[in-house]
Structure 1
Amino acid sequence: MARRTVPVIMDEQALLGLNPNADACYRQRALAYFEQLKESQDAWEVCAEALAKGIYSDDHVKFFCFQVLEHQIKYRHGALSALQQQLIRETLMKWLQSQLMNIHPEKPFIRNKAAQVLALTFVRDYLTLWPKFFFDILSLIGLNPHGVDIYLRTLMAIDAEVVDRDIQHSPEETRRNTLIKDSMREQCIPSLVESWFQILQAYQQSHSELTCQCLEVVGAYVSWIDLNLIANDRFVNVLLSHMSMEDLREEACDCLYEIVNKGMDPVDKTKLVESLCQVLQSAGFFNVEQEEDVDFLAKFSRLVNGMGQSLVLSWTKLSKVGDVKVAAETLRALEAKVPLLLQLLVHEDDDISANIVGFCYDYLHVLKQLPLLTDQQKANIEAIMLAVIKKLTYDDEYNFENEGEDEAMFVEYRKQLKMLLDRLAQVSPELLLESVRRVFNNTMQSWQTAPFMEVEVAIRLLYMLGEALPASHGAHFSGDNAKVNTLQDMMRTLITSGVSEYQHSSVSLEFFETVVRYDKFFIVEPQHIASVLMAFLDHRGLRHASPKVRSRVAYLFSRFVKTLHKHMNAFIEDILSRIQDLLELAPPENGFPALLTSDDQLFMFETAGVLIVNAESPAERKQALMRSLLMPLTDAFRMLLAKLPEEADEERQTALADCLSHAVGFASRTSKAFSNKQTVKQCGCSEVYLDCLQIFLPALSCPVQRGSLRSAVRSFLHRMIICLEEEVLPFIPAASEHMLKDCEPKDLQEFIPLISQITAKFKGQVSPFLQQVFMPLVVAIFEVLGRPAEENDQTAALEKQMLRRSYFTFIQTVTGSGMNEVMANQGAENIERVLFTIIQGAVDFPDPIAQKTCFIILSKLVELWGGKDGLVGFPDFIYKHIVPACFMAPLKPTFDLSDAQTVLTLSECALTLKMIHLKRGAEFIHFLQHDYLPSLQVSPEITQELCQVLQQPDSKVVRNYMKAFFQQAKL
């Protein structure tokens, strides 16, 4: 059958829109043309012909033609006729042939797209229609550099399609890819490997970029082809010669790394690594100090890391199978690499050092498993330890005040070194302790003249011992052994040496971090508390020149005080007077930058609270101290709240509202010092907080900046419910009334947990209030949910979904707290309205979390009202609405039974049916058998079966049956 010829007429006007600088209307037309060519049965053939004949010289048009072809192969391959499939193959080969004649190669983006299209064609056709794919390409291109370039790019594109493990494949694709690899191994891999060898030899001097591409291909394919094709003398010699060529050495390193990483038998792997090492060593690559190219050394370090980790893996496997002799040989091979490991680990370039950490870590793990260590192994441990200590040190360039990418990378690198230190502690804790003690003591003796990085790292090491040495923090200073004595000595030196005066923020921070890490030391030697408190409170800590230090110290100080408050009685009033200025509410018009941010001040208020509450003074004194701590806040609050409505400028309004919110937040934070209501009473502080409540509540009715003020007062109420319990109740009705006025979804969503907390905590005590607030709250919620929103407004949709969930959770709390009178007393019309919202939530909204809550509520209501003496009219509601909901919800297409949350919803749905049976008995079974299930066209056999299951006592049987029932029903 002759192929129909398609006239090569492309829409030249539309093609103009492919230019990146084209007008929007042209671009739109190009896009529409693309869609037309993609979807047409044969119009795309004009693109094939344009490529085969090289009609267009414009790069964007060529790229466009490849894209159209790509779409045909990707999405319409099965719909193409055999002739059309052949046309694609011929087009690609003609285009490839045309590249051999070109003086100038195509732009890289076109070559990449062509390689992608070739790879896609290969994947679709290789097993059936084009088994000679590679032979055709190789015989066509020979050693033409343009052709070789496309060939290598195609091989990498095939690797991405068939091999790359980072790409998710369907089971069908995985099977196909396995078949492709098996066929390639049988038919063409030796020929491909031969072509790679020829390319590497031919181009290593003249075309370094082609040689690098080829090395990348070898590295990619070596993981799944026969290693002997690559790991042989002729190939390895070529690779080693590349290691000495500046343009090729990095790619050669990567290629060797992939060879070494190939999974294989442990004995063979050891032989491979050893032979490679011998060749590299005799070629002088182990003389790391003489190498100045850090980029190459980073690659070489990665290669050594791969070789080292491979030997560790071989040793582990051989040890497991009990092959003692060969395992010992492997261990010797491993140990022989340690000098090289150490050279790379201490290298001044952190990338080179970081690339060897994995091998180092694994080597230490090997040593940990050995019953006895040789002197050489102990020396290796010590050398690694000194290397880690050296590398932990900051360099001069580190920017502490404005940390950027380099600084972030060093912080990450430090984390890797910390892992090594922890591993060292497991292998030889005594050696680590001794090394750190030596470094620490030497540095502390001369800290005044030592550079900051040495002082910082000395204290840092002491800090790191806390996690590295096995013990809970408390146990570091109990018992009588060398570790306890050494740590205690170092802590004593840290505090008495005066190093806290060192003028560098990194040293200051490390000092306070370490003091707090070892706060239990002060329980053993409380005589040092006073001097450390002074450091916290003066220019070294909370008044340090660096905002970063002040901020961190505010947090650390709160932790220090929490642990040691029992030992601070003598200093409490002195501390409070010294931090008084740090507890001031910074008014927005002040203009002076505050020493601490409002977030830092939260810690200061909490600390002040802890000191007052735990003081050994009478309740009156505590009350007086707490009042003097909170009065400045309440006074400022009154004044600012009066100003706020009069302020016209929105920016100033926001600043005032922030200030007011901070005042409430600070007061709230002081209450964290109390463990429960009892302690508030004992300290005589109930009155103080009730006064605060009285002052803060008017903010709820402030006409401006409502959101942030309500949020702050609501949080305060949450805390007061915990601290003051029923003393808060008189304030709740008025507060609720204010919070329900002019609500936004977020307001309501945050208000519901407050009401739920009150309901769950006070139960019957708040029943009258709940009955009063119940319908206004429900009405407010549905008014907000009913507001129209933009169709694509994801934020609004999510806010509504969260509000709906909160509403159902609230109903669940009310019904689950034994207060059914709250709903029962709302009047028949209102009850019905609420019940319908729950039915709607169970069935209509595809939100399994809300649906599950709704079924829990329905089950509870059936339990409360569904019996003989339940709510009038409720049994009727059960049959008309609850039973249908239990079937309609799971039958919805959106009810996904493969989703874990949905399965939990179904479980609650089944339990609801079980509860109906429990309350209505035979009447319910009769209704299902004769009325409801027949209306759903359920067969009599299945109906019978379902009714029998519902009468089973074991609810697990019911749940499992219902899942199977709906899975079957949805098929």
Structure 2
Amino acid sequence: MACESALPAIMDEQALLGLNPNADACYRQRALAYFEQLKESRDGWEVCAQALAKGIYGDDHVKFFCFQVLEHQIKFRHGSLTGAQQQLIRETLMKWLQLQLMGGQPEKPFIKNKAAQVLALTFVREYLTIWPKFFFDLLSLVGLNPHGLDIYLRTLMAVDAEVVDRDILHSPEETRRNTLIKDHMRESCIPALVESWYQILQTYQRSHSELTCQCLEVVGAYVSWIDLNLIANDRFVNLLLSHMSVEELREEACDCLFEIINKGMDPVDKTKLVESLSQVLQSAGFFNVEQEEDVDFLAKFSRLVNGMGQALVLSWTKLTKSGDVKVATETLQALEAKVPLLLQLLVHEDDDISANIVGFCYDYLHVLKQLPLLTDQQKNNAEAIMLAVMKKLTYDDEYNFENEGEDEAMFVEYRKQLKMLLDRLAQVSPELVLESVRRVFTSTMQGWQTARFMEVEVAIRLFYMLGEALPASHGAHFTGDGSKASALQDMMRTLISSGVSEYRHTSVTLEFFETVVRYDKFFIVEPQHIPSILMAFLDHRGLRHSSPKVRSRVAYLFSRFIKTLHKHMNSYIEDILSRIQDLLELAPPENGFQALLSSDDQLFMFETAGVLIVNGESPADRKQALMRSLLTPLLEAFRLLLNKLTQEGDEDRQTALADCLSHAVGFASRTSKAFSNKQTVKLCGCSEVYLDCLQTFLPALSCPVQRGALRSAVRSFLHRMIICLEEEVLPFIPAASEHMLKDCEPKDLQEFIPLISQITAKFKSQVSPFLQQIFMPLVLAIFEVLSQPAEDNDQTAALEKQMLRRSYFSFIQTIASSGMNEVMANQGAENIERVLFTIIQGAVDFPDPIAQKTCFIILSRLVELWGGKDGLVGFPDFIYKHIVPACFLAPLKTTFDLSDAQTVLALSECTLTLKMIHLRRGLEFIQFLQQEYLPSLHVSPEITQELCQVLQQPDTKVVKNYMKAFFQQAKL
């Protein structure tokens, strides 16, 4: 077997030293190189096989290393091994297994798992061809030796991972192979494997619980695809049930039974299976949940009952659909019989146990929803579930509100599941849900002063949840009709008048404000409650609460409340503004004072102030005065801080000042969100105030430090002002643009272009002179950035350039589609040509279908504008020299992937460009294709004729389909 790449028959001891996790880097490097050498050599791996077969090394890391080398051979080189080498691998594995049977020191789990993995890989490669007796050989070797059985069971799980596990993605070829393996196993060895499992479970249930648990896991994994009768029979099930009484085995036994129940089956057979299992479990006393103290086992048992319940629901659904009324009725009775057990588990104090049964509970309620009439028992069941949900929604004493960790996150998730149950209950019986919540809410609100926080919180929470559970409650319950004052209206009155907003626990406070805002329509009907609620928002209960978390949430909720009720705020506007004045102050970075609200929270406060001012009933001059007094302190602070920033040398202080300046711009911008089509800036007399803001903010664009942050803030403000101030913003645009184009980064440019595009699209011909002036400086700035060299592997720089290129093409598209062709036409022939070549380049050279699509849209539009008889001088020549070739060269590129949706859209625009050329140039274009261009591409005369005929078709869909097929064929 010797060859040029042969390695010595003994292992490199020096290299093996590097396998120790504590080894020096140079040793580790040598071990890595040795591993690669052994993997790649044609027979070097044989020294590893020999080491394993003879048990030469005691070191775990060396043994693991040897298995890894073997694994590589089987995984990647099995097909190229000789028959003798394949035989050597089989013998090595069996000899190593034989060593395990001798009962010395057992191997570490990580070695056994790796060995099982290698055995499974060998099985997958050889079972269907040269090793059909794989499992029989394994079983006859290990017998009932516990060390051997351990490896055997691990191998079965590794085979499951390779062949069955649905979470692992397989290629179509692997899927076919796996199906063949399973078919062959069912025919030849599954009965023998099942018998071996039975023997293991029976022999070792008392002496080797770990082995028994492993075996139960194997049964659970294999039951999904083998004949169920091999497992679901008296002797096997009785054995599993006996394991349910053994403390070390019961959890695995539960999981195994769950997998058996989960197997896809005919509904009648499934019901029989569930019922027989249920009877045995019940007579063995497992339904007496209260007497069971082991919560880990009960969590597993709850999952098993959940599986049984959901299986019965599925059977009932199928039987009902098929019209088998008698059997469906029997299945429903079986289902109902499980409800007392469901309720015991649902209400259990341990949330894991309760959470595991929610699925069955949800499905059971779905069954009740479908029944035409509920029996008294079913109504009682629904009521019991309602009580359980209300009880389980309650926080416990351990919940940490200040520092929420994993346990708290799990409870939040569990609460979401309970909410689903409440919503489903409301579909079954809205009256029951409303009445239950009302009862709990009313009694709790009567005695909230002495109640524990979790009782008060859950009472308000339930009231809050009614909003979604009974959708009509949002508006229809607050109709204002005194004779029909609804339950929800009563409850809102109780919530507000009870004084519960004074309760000193953050969870109650937050729930109170969330509920007030959820039912804010109530105040339209009963506006007399508005003053007391406003006070709650504005004082120590809300925006001045001791908890930052409460203040932050209330700032957001208050803005929502004001938005809904702004029409009812007229008499409170100035009072509210004066009370929140200190919350609207810009917190300068140097004062060290901890502001009550973060800058994000302040955004909501400024928006709220804006909404109050704009929507008030005051005359325009009063609105202007209020808006000016709101924004003037911001502008004064801005001027001071900008002056400081230009003189500040310390980089950290610069960053802090720039942040503060950006916040000031953001706050001013946020107030403008209050304006609408009805209440414009002009109508409210506020134009002058915002022009002052522009005047104050624009100098920040020329600040020599912190350019990125300041430009970004001012640019966002300009976007808002283009919408709000309309033409009045135009005088500011040229100077602002000039500043923003100085010393540009790719990101700056990319963000500046949408601003110019917005101006172009909105003001069109009004800004034409300005655009003609800025067009080439902007284009040249873009060219300069795009031409800067970047590292080959700098992904960020490449992506930034791609995004800038897209923005540039979008800008050209905006100009072309706004009917402002004079902007480009007046740039001089040389400049026009430069720009046109970039568009041709974008259409053909860059493999970016989004940009290519835009480029073809531009080309099509330019052909429409300039391609006729009275078009731009020299443009028809450009069409034939560059645009037509672009329409063919782009789709012929290997990077132009016609299986990609974006690329197909690009091709669609490319086709429309050709159609537009035909529309503008007529027969001349067709003759050019026939006589010059297509022959130059070696297109046959027949295809040329066909393509030219199709291009003259009026139906663009036909043309698009043809062109797609044409290029697909051309690329073969």
Scaled by the length of structure 2, the TM-score of the pair is: 0.98
Partner Cα separation in structure 1 for residue 391 and residue 493 of structure 2: 24
Q: How do 1:706-725 and structure 2 match up within 5 A?
A: 706-725=707-726
Partner of 2:501: 500
Q: How do 1:821-832 and structure 2 match up within 5 A?
A: 821-832=822-833
Letter in 1 for 2:639: R
Letter in 2 for 1:799: E
CA RMSD of aligned residues (A): 1.6
- CA-to-aligned-CA distance 1:291-332 (integer Å, 9 cap, x gap): 111111111110000000000000000110111111111111
- CA-to-aligned-CA distance 1:440-498 (integer Å, 9 cap, x gap): 00000000000000000000011000000032622231286999610000000000000
Q: Is the 8 A contact 1:619 1:682 kept in 2?
A: yes
Partner of 2:295: 294
Q: Is the 8 A contact 1:50 1:56 kept in 2?
A: yes
What SS does the aligned partner of 1:225 have? coil
CA positional deviation for 1:848: 1.4
Partner of 2:773: 772
Partner of 1:37: 38
Partner Cα separation in structure 1 for residue 862 and residue 745 of structure 2: 30
Q: Is the 8 A contact 1:677 1:722 kept in 2?
A: no
1:487 is the counterpart of 2:488? yes
Q: Taking structure 1 as reference, are residues 707 and 290 closer, same or farther at Cα in structure 2, changes over 3 Å only? A: same
Letter in 1 for 2:149: V
Q: How do 1:97-496 and structure 2 match up within 5 A?
A: 97-471=98-472, 473-478=474-479, 485-496=486-497
Q: Is the 8 A contact 1:8 1:50 kept in 2?
A: no
CA positional deviation for 1:108: 1.2
Partner of 1:896: 897
Partner of 1:86: 87
Letter in 1 for 2:449: Q
What SS does the aligned partner of 2:342 have? helix
CA positional deviation for 1:34: 2.1
Partner of 1:519: 520
CA positional deviation for 1:24: 2.2
Q: Is the 8 A contact 1:459 1:514 kept in 2?
A: yes
What SS does the aligned partner of 1:680 have? coil
CA positional deviation for 1:69: 1.7
1:599 is the counterpart of 2:613? no
1:959 is the counterpart of 2:969? no
Decide which moves more: 833-842 or 653-662.
Answer: 833-842
Letter in 2 for 1:516: V
Partner of 1:562: 563
CA positional deviation for 1:402: 1.3
Partner of 2:800: 799
Q: Taking structure 1 as reference, are residues 206 and 481 closer, same or farther at Cα in structure 2, changes over 3 Å only? A: farther
What SS does the aligned partner of 1:681 have? coil
CA positional deviation for 1:15: 2.3
Q: Is the 8 A contact 2:614 2:679 kept in 1?
A: no
CA positional deviation for 1:681: 1.2
Q: How do 1:651-666 and structure 2 match up within 5 A?
A: 651-666=652-667
Q: Taking structure 1 as reference, are residues 54 and 3 closer, same or farther at Cα in structure 2, changes over 3 Å only? A: farther
Partner of 2:969: 968
Partner of 1:860: 861
Letter in 2 for 1:679: T
- CA-to-aligned-CA distance 1:514-556 (integer Å, 9 cap, x gap): 0000010011111101100000000000000110000000000
Q: How do 1:57-76 and structure 2 match up within 5 A?
A: 57-76=58-77
Partner Cα separation in structure 2 for residue 629 and residue 116 of structure 1: 71
- CA-to-aligned-CA distance 1:159-209 (integer Å, 9 cap, x gap): 111111111111111111111111110001000000001111111111111
- CA-to-aligned-CA distance 1:111-141 (integer Å, 9 cap, x gap): 1111111111111111111111100100011
Scaled by the length of structure 1, the TM-score of the pair is: 0.98
Partner Cα separation in structure 2 for residue 493 and residue 665 of structure 1: 40
- CA-to-aligned-CA distance 1:258-288 (integer Å, 9 cap, x gap): 0000000111111111111111111111111
Decide which moves more: 18-27 or 220-229.
Answer: 18-27
Partner of 2:852: 851
- CA-to-aligned-CA distance 1:870-901 (integer Å, 9 cap, x gap): 22222222222222222222222222221111
Q: Is the 8 A contact 1:433 1:483 kept in 2?
A: no
Letter in 1 for 2:521: K
Letter in 2 for 1:763: K
1:883 is the counterpart of 2:887? no
Partner Cα separation in structure 2 for residue 25 and residue 947 of structure 1: 69
* Structure 2 unmatched runs, 5+: none
Partner of 2:50: 49
What SS does the aligned partner of 1:247 have? coil
Partner Cα separation in structure 1 for residue 91 and residue 782 of structure 2: 67
Partner Cα separation in structure 2 for residue 7 and residue 636 of structure 1: 80
Letter in 2 for 1:704: V
Letter in 1 for 2:838: T
Q: Taking structure 1 as reference, are residues 699 and 932 closer, same or farther at Cα in structure 2, changes over 3 Å only? A: same
Decide which moves more: 297-306 or 4-13.
Answer: 4-13
CA positional deviation for 1:966: 1.8
Partner of 2:938: 937
* Structure 1 unmatched runs, 5+: none
Partner of 1:701: 702
Q: Is the 8 A contact 1:886 1:910 kept in 2?
A: yes
Q: Taking structure 1 as reference, are residues 678 and 431 closer, same or farther at Cα in structure 2, changes over 3 Å only? A: closer
- CA-to-aligned-CA distance 1:93-119 (integer Å, 9 cap, x gap): 122122212411211111111111111
Partner Cα separation in structure 1 for residue 485 and residue 33 of structure 2: 77
CA positional deviation for 1:853: 1.0
Q: Taking structure 1 as reference, are residues 949 and 259 closer, same or farther at Cα in structure 2, changes over 3 Å only? A: same
CA positional deviation for 1:7: 5.4
Partner Cα separation in structure 1 for residue 786 and residue 36 of structure 2: 41
Decide which moves more: 50-59 or 436-445.
Answer: 50-59
Decide which moves more: 499-508 or 796-805.
Answer: 796-805
Q: Taking structure 1 as reference, are residues 230 and 29 closer, same or farther at Cα in structure 2, changes over 3 Å only? A: same
Q: Taking structure 1 as reference, are residues 635 and 848 closer, same or farther at Cα in structure 2, changes over 3 Å only? A: same
Q: Taking structure 1 as reference, are residues 938 and 87 closer, same or farther at Cα in structure 2, changes over 3 Å only? A: farther
Letter in 1 for 2:510: L
Aligned-residue sequence identity (percent) comes to 89
Letter in 2 for 1:240: L
Partner Cα separation in structure 2 for residue 53 and residue 873 of structure 1: 86
Partner of 1:727: 728
Partner of 2:575: 574
Partner Cα separation in structure 1 for residue 285 and residue 866 of structure 2: 88
Letter in 1 for 2:789: P
Decide which moves more: 73-82 or 804-813.
Answer: 73-82
Decide which moves more: 407-416 or 887-896.
Answer: 887-896
Number of residue pairs matched by the alignment: 971
Partner Cα separation in structure 2 for residue 302 and residue 550 of structure 1: 41
Letter in 2 for 1:567: H
What SS does the aligned partner of 2:207 have? coil
Letter in 2 for 1:624: A
Q: Taking structure 1 as reference, are residues 645 and 604 closer, same or farther at Cα in structure 2, changes over 3 Å only? A: same
- CA-to-aligned-CA distance 1:345-404 (integer Å, 9 cap, x gap): 111111111100000000000000000001110000000001000000011111111111
Partner of 2:819: 818
Letter in 2 for 1:888: L
Partner of 1:750: 751
CA positional deviation for 1:652: 0.9
Q: Is the 8 A contact 1:862 1:919 kept in 2?
A: yes
- CA-to-aligned-CA distance 1:2-59 (integer Å, 9 cap, x gap): 9999852223332222222222222222222222222222222222222222222222
Q: Taking structure 1 as reference, are residues 272 and 620 closer, same or farther at Cα in structure 2, changes over 3 Å only? A: same
Letter in 1 for 2:218: V
